[in-house]
Structure 1
Amino acid sequence: MVLKTSILHITGLVQGVGFRPHVYRLAKELNLSGEVENNNEGVCIRINAADSDLRYFIDEIRSRAPMASRIERIVIEEVPFKMFDGFHIVKSSDHSDDITGVSPDIAVCDECIEDMKSQEHRIGYPFINCTNCGPRFTIISDLPYDRSMTAMADFRMCPRCRDEYMDVNDRRFHAQPVACNQCGPVYRIEGQDEEEAGQEEIVKRVSLALAEGKIAAVKGIGGFHLICDASNERAVSELRKRKQREGKPFAVMCRSVGESAMFAEISDPEAELLSSWQRPVVILRSKFKLAHSVSNGLDTVGIILPYMPFHHLLFDHISCSALVFTSANLSDEPVIKDNSEAVEKLGGIADLVVTYNRDIYNRADDSVARLMAGKPVILRRSRGYTPAPLTLPFNTEGIFAAGAELVNAFALGKGVDAIMSQYIGDLRNQPAYDFYTESYNLLKRLFRFSPSLVVRDIHPDYLSSRFADQLAMETGAATVQVQHHHAHVAACMAENRVEGKVIGLSLDGVGLGTDGHIWGGEVMLADYTGFERRYHFDYVPILGADRVSYDAWRSELSYLHRYGLLEKASGMGLFEGRLAEKDISVYIRGLERGINTHQYSSAGRLFDAVSSLTGTVHRANYHAEAPMRLESIAKVGESGSYGFDIEEGIISFGPAFENMLYDLKKFEPGIISARFHNTVCNALAHVTGILFRDEGIGKVVLTGGTFQNNLLVSMLSERLSVAGMKVYLHGVIPPNDNGLAPGQMAIAAAMRESGLI
């Protein structure tokens, strides 16, 4: 065998995840000589090996890679022979504008939890970590990922930690946040004497406060959380009152999957998602054994498992099995990350504010996921997932995708990847816009990004659109505008690497259409470079602009008026006790005169109307409450349905509303809800079947915020699959507006590749 020298260039998510020690141990095990280093392109290995040994080495690198890593490519370069003496890890370098992936934050591993109980210098240490776990994205300021580039730069390692950090055989070799009780960050309770309370005492005080029904604000990895005993109705109700969060469900943290099963039904795939290293909040079927105010009657509950050492220490000291665990933010503002801001803004909400003295550089909310039609689907992509790259089927280099207005995230294009930002939230105020700008500047620096093409929604007044226009003007980048629902379809296509035309079912609450109206019930033939709107839900005029998505009664009145059923509904006494005849008359006059009125073909508004009609939600306390509660009450096993009309590409639910008015006299709302869901499924399956037959297109994409409705997704995907169509769902890209930016980017990249821009 001839010994050669080769260089392996490895790209992907290979920094901050224990990849170099992994390579080192393999090389030692196989008795190979060479060196490995991090650079801002990825990991570089220089190796002496015969061809067969090199192939085996590469196979082992892939098959035994660290849990949180993701190898995209291994490029082999043969170079002039150079003999290495042993195998070494060398200093990181930074020499180009290419980049490697930045690791998301990783939940604390089981080995570290055990070390927290047994290692002398880390007994009860609330920041324990190793190369396999701990904070990453939230503490980094620049690449390469070395301690000097993180929020740990000011914490000098003690000799014992330094020895571990330098020992390649130690699990903490080059773990950048490594520290211990002698040299690491510390927690404190604001307003209390930090000298008198050690870390264990602080945990005990927080535990005691929770047992007494108090509320604590605790600094997490990506921001502060508000926590209280989830079994204490008084405490949970008080938290709602203080936070002014009237109805939106709270997430709950449980000690383990086993204890979570006390409060929710959990399948094996859901248990796997719960305990994954990303640790998202997982939406589960509730057993209704928590305080009522946790979910306020919804049939689901969001559960998350501990992911910081402090969480585990807390559960070691508390007697309750579940804690309310909700982001600490005010109204629609971003989650609070700085100690001073937490003391100022949370002091009136929390009975105690618990901080620590390490900065959070990059805020990140908890991610949210749900099992839908048997597949894990991310509904909010943030901590644990961001900024891991999403590989698209196009060259994305230099493309900035601005995202939507609601539940925003933007994306940067590098190579063939979309680098999605963390969850930003609703871009409707200055703090949210500042967070958007701050995150763009950070990711631009981290990923050496320079925009050459800017893509945004066709709506000119979104703050994301204004940012995109300003960016294009400042940089000279070309600009392309993309229709909202086309972007949704493209996002799902790109994730599933679908080529050619698809039937795109794009359903949500709001998105500006090319005709100037508000779309949201769209059935289109689409590919990456264009779309044809073949069917859509009936246009219904609704008055109220920004109030429309909260005042479900507006949609109810508008649909009844549109289908000539308002007088009949009024005669049934449908509005007694909630809407006066005078108010109804004023609304209808405004509607007929077109005052502050828009035409909606929106699935979201349709679900709002039915939710109000059935008495489920008349006025929502939070976004999408009306559709969520309508799904929640649907009677399982009900097979009935209502009528609908289709004429010249317009799907009208007029017959369904007439049927529902009749059923209101005879049946409970749960039966009507189930029949309505069946009706929407029937209508969509019918028109999709026509397109399948007439156009010969059998690939169907389900996308948009309405397809967070598990009942609708499960029924419709099964119907279409049985009919011989291939159904594509979202997974790692959210189906709602949080996942819009990758779709915008895919369209822009395809248009650029095709010479259309």
Structure 2
Amino acid sequence: MNHYHIHVRGLVQGVGFRPCIYRLATEMGLHGYVENSNDGVLIVLQATDEEKEHFVQALPLVAPAVATIERIDVEECPANCTYDRFEIASSRSEGDEITRVSPDIAICPECLQDRRRQPHRKDYPFINCTHCGPRFTIIQALPYDRAVTTMSDFALCDTCRSEYADVTDRRFHAQPIACNRCGPAYTLCDSGGAREHDYRHIVSRIASVLTGGGVVALKSLGGYNLLCDADNEQAVTRLREVKGRYAKPLAVMYRDEATAAADLDLTDEERRALTSWRRPIVLSHERARHARWLNDGYHSLGVLLPYMAIHYDLFEAAPSLRRIVVTSGNRSGNPIVIADGEAHDLFDPQVDLVVSYNREIYNRVDDSVVCEYDGLCRPVRRARGYTPEPLHNLQSTEGIVAVGAEQVSSFAVGKHDDILLSQYVGELSRRGNLGFFEESFSHFARIFRFRPRCVVCDLHPDYAATVWGERYAAEHQLPLYRVQHHHAHAAAVMAEYDLAGEVLALCLDGTGYGDDCTIWGGELLRCSRSRYTRLSHQPYLPMPGGDVAAREPWRMAVSLLYSLYGESMPLPHDFVERIGADRIRLVCRMIARRINTPLSSGAGRLFDAVASLLGVADFNRYQAEAPQKLEQLAEGSAERLYPFDPDNPLDISWLVVAVVDELNRGIPRSEIAGAFHATYAAMWCAEVVRQAAQQKLSRVVLSGGVLQNKRLVDRLMNLLRQAGLQPYLPAVVPCNDAGIAVGQMAVAAAWLEERERKR
């Protein structure tokens, strides 16, 4: 009989993996033990070689659905002792090795049933098992055991303890296990200061307030949410005032899939994402406009399904409620609130009820957002249900801190050859979000036993992330590396798809600090992980007022036409009426005299300009409002093309002349928006094809915030494939700036490897 050490790496803790191993070994009559270690799961197996082979082959087949096995290492070892049974041993924590940490998992169907049939869990709202429940939001350290989670304050009752120890039970070694006798509980506080602790009464009160048009602050998995009846315009208006979010679309939770499907044209892929254990917000097309106050100017709506027991109970208690607004509990632009005291200070005077529970949220996370692009639901905001799943990198990432970008901020830390991307943080120019960034970085460093050896940041000198990275590097006496913004965008996609060598990279966004100190954003690069060459770009346009032009698209509309036509620019009559001739003349003088008018090749600025010319939006009340509404305006229009110069596809003058001409001829603006999208995609495809032939490259990575435009992306991907090229669009990492940290780390890892080779 031989002894084998079988080391399983991946997402194998907190998902019921060890009980599956125990049952498999017991069924096969094998002896030994299985234990959690900080770098995965270790199995010591006493078996013949043939039995060992059968056991290893069966591991992926018996693993829980949420588990992910990345690697299985088998080593034959000397037999120091013999085993007379198979058992689950205590967890072991040694060194700085780590295993994957599970994201939070939506309540499973079996637990929903257990709430009805188990006496000690009758209606219990915090029920969970090895297949579901809180994970990342409660974990404080590895290996994943109750003692290092925020459940450590709750001592198990005798019944839960017996389930925890019973290998045949679904809650065997489920770390957050609890019931009505020993687990966390809700507390309700109303606007008059009265408190309620009975759960059924709390649910009834919330349901009554929501159906009556009220607003509720409810503590969710990763932070507080604000809730109201989505079909009550006055309630939604009030919620917007509480949050300070007056225009941006709101996400809606439906009571079930059937109710959502009645309102939305859900694709099969959207249904899969909507009902998955991750339970993200899914952006989907509405069949009809039921409530413009939710998403005025949009044909799409962000929807999600219940993922906590209390969500199901609320809909059951309020049969008239079809759907409720569920949005982050914060003032707009600030981090989601997790502390109960802060929630009461912020919401008590403004909402009808504040409902909390007495378990701490250690890691705050917002709801994730996904959208279907090119046949796959891809993350727009990566948070609950996804964080902290790692990405594999071709080079070692050990000790690298990547601080990311500014507006859609996420950071990353490197362990071995993994990139651990943080949850969505938000715009770092906000002091509260910078605090969230620092808090989360501290938590990541503790959980993943991270020891920094270098810092990597963006080239932009004024990014808060760059300033933080510079200070952190100086304080810890670490080397600091700077990566160009669009090189990072490209490298993030290369890291996700394990691409080596050189590729073409089409990077379309609004802002990225360039090597020439201008603002880049419509770029075609030839790049590897370690270097890049800028092959071509959109023509530069002045940004009158600098960053103000990104907030006021009308300025870019003036810049676009002034750059092409000069003083005789043919501005639409309604545009002049909206903006005012005096303001337009002032901007023209700024451009002519080059006063505070930095140059930008940003694709986002071109979309801003066209959106304003078509009367879609002259001001961005939130990030990318104008380009998003321009895409929505094009909904349903035919994809006809304007002419452009095939020898110089990026000459946008042809496109601008066509748009202005059709505006003057009274062509419907939705048709112009559709033709603009189709032509813009065709122009870039022609340029990529031209450069691909010259550079002798066929792989094309695509990234940047403008590529969140579904109409543009779907057309681009089809055109590139038809041209015989292989396009890569990120499917795990957001293509917006939340993915920048991944690219920064991939570039820095390549640089460090090259430096080591030269030694």
Deviates more, 1:577-586 or 1:503-512: 577-586
How many angstroms apart in 2 are the aligned matches of 1:396 and 1:196?
Answer: 50
Per the alignment, do residues 203 and 226 of structure 1 end up closer, same or farther by CA in structure 2, a change over 3 Å counting? Answer: same
How many angstroms apart in 2 are the aligned matches of 1:566 and 1:162?
Answer: 80
Task: Report the alpha carbon displacement of residue 101 of structure 1 after superposing the two structures with TM.
Answer: 0.9
Task: Report the alpha carbon displacement of residue 197 of structure 1 after superposing the two structures with TM.
Answer: 4.3
3-state secondary structure, aligned to 2:455: strand
Answer yes or no: is 1:520 the counterpart of 2:518: no
How many angstroms apart in 2 are the aligned matches of 1:332 and 1:440?
Answer: 19
How many angstroms apart in 1 are the aligned matches of 2:725 and 2:637?
Answer: 24
How many angstroms apart in 2 are the aligned matches of 1:300 and 1:613?
Answer: 23
Per the alignment, do residues 645 and 599 of structure 1 end up closer, same or farther by CA in structure 2, a change over 3 Å counting? Answer: farther
Task: Report the alpha carbon displacement of residue 365 of structure 1 after superposing the two structures with TM.
Answer: 0.5
Aligned to 1:325: 326
Task: Report the alpha carbon displacement of residue 5 of structure 1 after superposing the two structures with TM.
Answer: 0.7
**Partner amino acid for 1:26?**
L
Task: Report the alpha carbon displacement of residue 565 of structure 1 after superposing the two structures with TM.
Answer: 5.7
Aligned to 1:37: 35
Task: Report the alpha carbon displacement of residue 154 of structure 1 after superposing the two structures with TM.
Answer: 0.9
Per the alignment, do residues 193 and 83 of structure 1 end up closer, same or farther by CA in structure 2, a change over 3 Å counting? Answer: farther
**Partner amino acid for 1:712?**
L
After TM superposition, the structure 1 = structure 2 runs for residues 481-492 of structure 1, keeping only pairs within 5 Å, are 481-492=482-493
Aligned CA RMSD, in angstroms, stands at 1.6
1:650-677 per-position Cα deviation (integer Å, ceiling 9, x unaligned):
8231222121111113211110101100
Per the alignment, do residues 681 and 406 of structure 1 end up closer, same or farther by CA in structure 2, a change over 3 Å counting? Answer: same
1:75-118 per-position Cα deviation (integer Å, ceiling 9, x unaligned):
11211123112111111111111111111111111100111111
Aligned to 2:710: 710
Per the alignment, do residues 44 and 466 of structure 1 end up closer, same or farther by CA in structure 2, a change over 3 Å counting? Answer: same
Task: Report the alpha carbon displacement of residue 591 of structure 1 after superposing the two structures with TM.
Answer: 2.4
How many angstroms apart in 2 are the aligned matches of 1:348 and 1:428?
Answer: 27
Per the alignment, do residues 635 and 220 of structure 1 end up closer, same or farther by CA in structure 2, a change over 3 Å counting? Answer: closer
How many angstroms apart in 1 are the aligned matches of 2:455 and 2:158?
Answer: 49
Task: Report the alpha carbon displacement of residue 645 of structure 1 after superposing the two structures with TM.
Answer: 5.0
- Contact 2:644 / 2:655 at 8 angstroms: preserved in 1? yes
- Contact 1:699 / 1:728 at 8 angstroms: preserved in 2? yes
3-state secondary structure, aligned to 2:650: strand
How many angstroms apart in 2 are the aligned matches of 1:453 and 1:52?
Answer: 47
Aligned to 2:106: 107
After TM superposition, the structure 1 = structure 2 runs for residues 152-551 of structure 1, keeping only pairs within 5 Å, are 152-191=151-190, 197-318=197-318, 319-551=320-552
3-state secondary structure, aligned to 1:618: coil
1:27-71 per-position Cα deviation (integer Å, ceiling 9, x unaligned):
111111111111111111111111111111111111221122211
- Contact 1:243 / 1:349 at 8 angstroms: preserved in 2? no
- Contact 1:535 / 1:650 at 8 angstroms: preserved in 2? no
Aligned to 1:76: 74
Task: Report the alpha carbon displacement of residue 375 of structure 1 after superposing the two structures with TM.
Answer: 1.6
- Contact 1:509 / 1:706 at 8 angstroms: preserved in 2? yes
After TM superposition, the structure 1 = structure 2 runs for residues 593-742 of structure 1, keeping only pairs within 5 Å, are 593-644=593-644, 651-664=650-663, 665-742=665-742
Task: Report the alpha carbon displacement of residue 566 of structure 1 after superposing the two structures with TM.
Answer: 5.7
- Contact 1:524 / 1:531 at 8 angstroms: preserved in 2? yes
Answer yes or no: is 1:11 the counterpart of 2:12: no
3-state secondary structure, aligned to 2:100: coil
Aligned residues: 753
3-state secondary structure, aligned to 2:606: helix
Unaligned stretches of 5+ residues in structure 1: none
Deviates more, 1:241-250 or 1:329-338: 241-250
- Contact 1:537 / 1:650 at 8 angstroms: preserved in 2? no
Per the alignment, do residues 118 and 193 of structure 1 end up closer, same or farther by CA in structure 2, a change over 3 Å counting? Answer: farther
How many angstroms apart in 2 are the aligned matches of 1:565 and 1:643?
Answer: 22
Within the candidate set 22, 25, 42, 1:27 is matched to 25
How many angstroms apart in 2 are the aligned matches of 1:306 and 1:272?
Answer: 15
3-state secondary structure, aligned to 1:719: helix
Task: Report the alpha carbon displacement of residue 639 of structure 1 after superposing the two structures with TM.
Answer: 3.1
How many angstroms apart in 1 are the aligned matches of 2:247 and 2:611?
Answer: 16
Per the alignment, do residues 249 and 755 of structure 1 end up closer, same or farther by CA in structure 2, a change over 3 Å counting? Answer: same
3-state secondary structure, aligned to 2:270: helix
Aligned to 1:582: 582
How many angstroms apart in 2 are the aligned matches of 1:660 and 1:429?
Answer: 38
Q: What's the TM-score, normalizing by structure 1?
A: 0.97
3-state secondary structure, aligned to 2:755: coil
Aligned to 1:63: 61
How many angstroms apart in 2 are the aligned matches of 1:261 and 1:18?
Answer: 32
- Contact 2:283 / 2:301 at 8 angstroms: preserved in 1? yes
How many angstroms apart in 1 are the aligned matches of 2:222 and 2:709?
Answer: 28
- Contact 2:196 / 2:202 at 8 angstroms: preserved in 1? no
- Contact 1:386 / 1:420 at 8 angstroms: preserved in 2? yes
1:685-709 per-position Cα deviation (integer Å, ceiling 9, x unaligned):
1111111222221111111111111
How many angstroms apart in 1 are the aligned matches of 2:172 and 2:491?
Answer: 42
How many angstroms apart in 2 are the aligned matches of 1:604 and 1:706?
Answer: 6
3-state secondary structure, aligned to 1:578: helix
Task: Report the alpha carbon displacement of residue 541 of structure 1 after superposing the two structures with TM.
Answer: 0.5
- Contact 1:401 / 1:744 at 8 angstroms: preserved in 2? yes
- Contact 2:189 / 2:195 at 8 angstroms: preserved in 1? no
3-state secondary structure, aligned to 1:577: helix
- Contact 1:645 / 1:653 at 8 angstroms: preserved in 2? no
**Partner amino acid for 2:461?**
P
- Contact 1:641 / 1:679 at 8 angstroms: preserved in 2? yes
- Contact 2:457 / 2:744 at 8 angstroms: preserved in 1? yes
Deviates more, 1:455-464 or 1:340-349: 340-349
3-state secondary structure, aligned to 1:545: coil
3-state secondary structure, aligned to 2:269: helix
**Partner amino acid for 2:651?**
S
- Contact 1:560 / 1:566 at 8 angstroms: preserved in 2? no
- Contact 2:387 / 2:421 at 8 angstroms: preserved in 1? yes
- Contact 2:455 / 2:478 at 8 angstroms: preserved in 1? yes
How many angstroms apart in 2 are the aligned matches of 1:56 and 1:94?
Answer: 29
How many angstroms apart in 1 are the aligned matches of 2:421 and 2:70?
Answer: 17
Unaligned stretches of 5+ residues in structure 2: none
**Partner amino acid for 2:135?**
R
How many angstroms apart in 1 are the aligned matches of 2:567 and 2:715?
Answer: 31
Deviates more, 1:587-596 or 1:269-278: 587-596
After TM superposition, the structure 1 = structure 2 runs for residues 49-60 of structure 1, keeping only pairs within 5 Å, are 49-60=47-58
**Partner amino acid for 1:753?**
E
Per the alignment, do residues 112 and 348 of structure 1 end up closer, same or farther by CA in structure 2, a change over 3 Å counting? Answer: same
3-state secondary structure, aligned to 1:101: coil
- Contact 2:187 / 2:195 at 8 angstroms: preserved in 1? no
How many angstroms apart in 1 are the aligned matches of 2:587 and 2:752?
Answer: 47
How many angstroms apart in 2 are the aligned matches of 1:573 and 1:709?
Answer: 28
3-state secondary structure, aligned to 1:423: coil
Aligned to 2:130: 131
- Contact 1:329 / 1:336 at 8 angstroms: preserved in 2? yes
3-state secondary structure, aligned to 2:163: helix
1:603-643 per-position Cα deviation (integer Å, ceiling 9, x unaligned):
00000000000001111211011111100111435132234
3-state secondary structure, aligned to 1:563: helix
